[in-house]
Structure 1
Amino acid sequence: MTSYFAPAAIALGLSTAMAAPAMAGSYAPAPAEPVIVPAVPAAAPDGDWGGAYVGLSYGYIDVDTDSGAPDDDSDALGIMAGYRWDFGKTVAGVEVEYGEPDLNFGSEEVDSVWRIKGQYGYDFGRTLAYATAGIAPTDTSLGSETGYLVGLGVDYQMTPNWVLGAEVLYHDFDEFGSSGVGADATTAAVRVSYRF
């Protein structure tokens, strides 16, 4: 009996030993390592600055008079409307602004100020930096005078329609009416506008 089981046991042992390496490995190829592609940051969206807008400005105005009249300063609220043309990297525009600052030169006071301005600036995408110049027709109790103004501003598009900005202007007035009193004024204002 032992003679029948011994060859069978040897054959079984050999077949198991030979089959073990075949079962241990697989003929399927190993999975490829994933390729990691670095993410490319999205480019800052180019702002479209062309079109019409309306808005409000609020700031500070400091007036220095000549001819011995007293100086004054005040906060200043204004309303504005304008139109801009976007040429790609440069932007040109026109704007009209109206305000009634609470300014007094002794017993005299400023009734209203109009600002009619041209703008030219550089488009940084959602930010626009610009220079501005124009005229400022002003009515006072001393008389009327149209002065000139120059300034700098920056606007930022919070959304495609809403814009937050800041502007600094220098004004020069030769003489109000025939009073012999002239003045120069500096304004610094924060602006909010809605683009159409």
Structure 2
Amino acid sequence: MKRLLLAGVALSVASAASAADLRARPYPKAAPATVVAAYNWSGFYIGAMGGYGWDSGDASGGFGGGTIGYNWQFPGSQFVFGVEVDAAGASIKDSLTADIGGGVLATEELKINSFGSVTGRAGFALDAALVYAKGGFAWANRKDSISVPALGVSLSDSQSHTGYTIGGGLEYLFTPNWSAKAEYMYTSLGSETYNLGGDLFDSGTIDFHTIKVGVNYHFR
């Protein structure tokens, strides 16, 4: 009987010691997860773009050109800032033909041959998507021409106009190096004086709208 009692006491002590050991055993805590953005927009990029333009009158037409720029996105921030330069050849034009008497027809054509801008960009990145606004300096070269074929008359003058442009768009990185974009811009340019055969006239303000799409390659 004493042996059984001693055995029981020894078993109880051993069980208590084992439980205490289990309670005291340390377990390492898992390190907190670190969230890292899958995309970063920082760096230089170049691209090609094209689209359609129109003014408040009847002028309209297509254009195509190129883009170069640089983005800054600080680590841990979703805000993206940048500068961008673009230029395009264009055929945004309007023409009017009228009878100037005796069945003699005269045609006047107004055409934007090229335009471009130097702008700042500010956007908000959602990983691969960037929603942005942009604005800055704009220029365009416009040609005014008058022709009267029956009289062998052809007059023209070209002037460069400067002003501002403002708009915004959406850009999406479909690979780490390539993105596609869609963009709307409003451009307002100051007037210039045109000389057609000695007749001088003021063009007035030139306002036009553009919608463009493009692709950019980002250097990493």
Return the TM-score normalized by structure 1.
0.70
Instruction: Look up the SS of the partner of 1:102 in the other structure.
Output: strand
Where has structure 1 moved over 6 Å in runs of 4 or more? none
Q: Which region of structure 1 is more displaced relative to structure 2, 96-105 or 112-121?
A: 96-105
Q: After superposition, give the CA deviation of every residue in 1:78-119 in whole Å (9 maximum; x if it has no partner).
A: 211101111221000011101011022432322221211100
Share of identical aligned residues, percent? 30
CA contact (8 A) 2:60 2:94 kept: no
> Which of the residues 31, 37, 49 maps onto 2:41?
49
Instruction: Look up the SS of the partner of 2:172 in the other structure.
Output: strand
The CA distance in 2 between the partners of 1:60 and 1:94, in whole Å, is 23
CA contact (8 A) 1:131 1:152 kept: yes
Aligned length: 149
Q: After superposition, give the CA deviation of every residue in 1:148-178 in whole Å (9 maximum; x if it has no partner).
A: 1110111100000000111100111231345
Unaligned runs of 5+ in 2: 1-34, 96-108, 144-157, 195-201
Return the TM-score normalized by structure 2.
0.63
1:139 deviates by 1.4
The CA distance in 1 between the partners of 2:55 and 2:211, in whole Å, is 12
CA contact (8 A) 1:64 1:183 kept: no
What amino acid sits opposite 1:185 in the alignment?
F
Unaligned runs of 5+ in 1: 1-42, 66-70
Aligned to 1:127: 129
> Which of the residues 137, 155, 158 maps onto 2:139?
137
What amino acid sits opposite 1:149 in the alignment?
T
Larger Rg: 1
The CA distance in 1 between the partners of 2:180 and 2:193, in whole Å, is 36
Aligned to 1:113: 115
Instruction: Look up the SS of the partner of 1:99 in the other structure.
Output: strand
CA contact (8 A) 1:89 1:122 kept: yes
Aligned counterparts, 1:62-73, within 5 A: 62-64=54-56, 71-73=58-60
1:63 deviates by 1.7
| RMSD of aligned Cα (Å) | 1.8
CA contact (8 A) 1:57 1:192 kept: yes
Instruction: Look up the SS of the partner of 1:190 in the other structure.
Output: strand
